[in-house]
Amino acid sequence: MQLSRCPICHARIGLDTLCQDEAGRELLGLLAGLDAIEGSALVTYLGLFRPETRDLANDRALRLAREALAVHTDKAIVTTAMAETVRSMRTKQDGGGFKPLTNHRYLLSVLDTVSARGTALMPIQNGVNALVNPTAKPVSKTAQAIEFLKEYPTPADMPDWFTRTVCGSLAELLMLGLDNMPAYDTLPIIAERWLNELWPKRQWRKDCRFRGAKRLRDAFILAAESKHRWPSVGDVLGNVPSA
């Protein structure tokens, strides 16, 4: 059974082959215990360790994943630190100064900064950061944007699963360091536009193989990977059959 292509190395993934490998099974189990945003942050972070000429071995990926998740007891802080590490390393990669990571020192450095800013995530309202706790220290814009998308209210004319899938996919895109990424303070408008433009274009059904939640989320990721930039509504719909 094929699992499409790996979002890191773009090789085809065989589920049966992966499960036959003990480290592969444990890695799948570890990822299954995380939510979509946490899992996406971890997978993209592990991609920073992949050597240029070969894939990352399952046993090493498993060890690195366990080490990364153990750097702090608060998953929100770890997820934010991994996302910011990926963004910083992608910037270095674009400038030609990136080499695969060999340890978690950079992550720990970023983690210290994230921890110092505080753990409370403040949602974005009306395009600005709303002050939830006057004594809380500011958190990163990435963390605020992700939290905003996780809590985005479902419009009255569409099911909650659709809103959660679209907003969750947008949150994943924020951690990929794509070109043409929209400004964080435009996210309320961006989320509303995506929902209103996608919903009427297909006969969406949550468990449908071709127009369901999984296919919609995969369509976002495939569109972003193929274009290497923030996708358009048309890019995403191009990966979802119309009938």
Tell which phi-psi region holds residue 86, choosing left (phi > 0), alpha (psi between -120 and 50) or beta. alpha
Q: Where are the domains of the chain?
A: 1-118, 120-243
Longest dimension (CA), the chain: 52
Tell me if 176 sits within 8 A of 220, measured CB to CB.
no
Q: Is 229 helix (H, G, I), strand (E, B) or coil?
A: strand
DSSP class of 3? E
Residue type, 141: K
Tell me if 76 sits within 8 A of 143, measured CB to CB.
yes
What is the DSSP track for 63-112? HHHHHHHTS-S-HHHHHHHHHHHHHHHHHHHHTT------SSHHHHHHHH
Buried b (16+ CB within 10 A) or exposed e, 151-182: ebeeeeebeebbbbbbbbbbbbbbbbbbeeee
DSSP class of 134? T
Q: Is 125 helix (H, G, I), strand (E, B) or coil?
A: strand
For residue 25, with 0-12 CB atoms within 10 Å meaning exposed, 13-18 middle and 19 or more buried, which class applies? middle
pTM tops 0.85, yes or no:
no
Angle at 148 between CA 145 and CA 150, to 5 degrees: 110
Q: Please list the pLDDT of the chain residue by residue as tens digits (243 residues).
A: 344 445 444 445 555 555 556 887 888 888 888 887 788 888 888 988 888 777 788 888 899 999 999 998 888 888 888 888 887 787 777 666 668 889 999 898 888 877 776 543 333 333 333 333 334 444 567 777 888 888 888 888 899 999 999 999 999 898 887 888 888 778 888 899 999 999 999 999 999 999 999 999 999 999 998 888 899 999 999 999 987
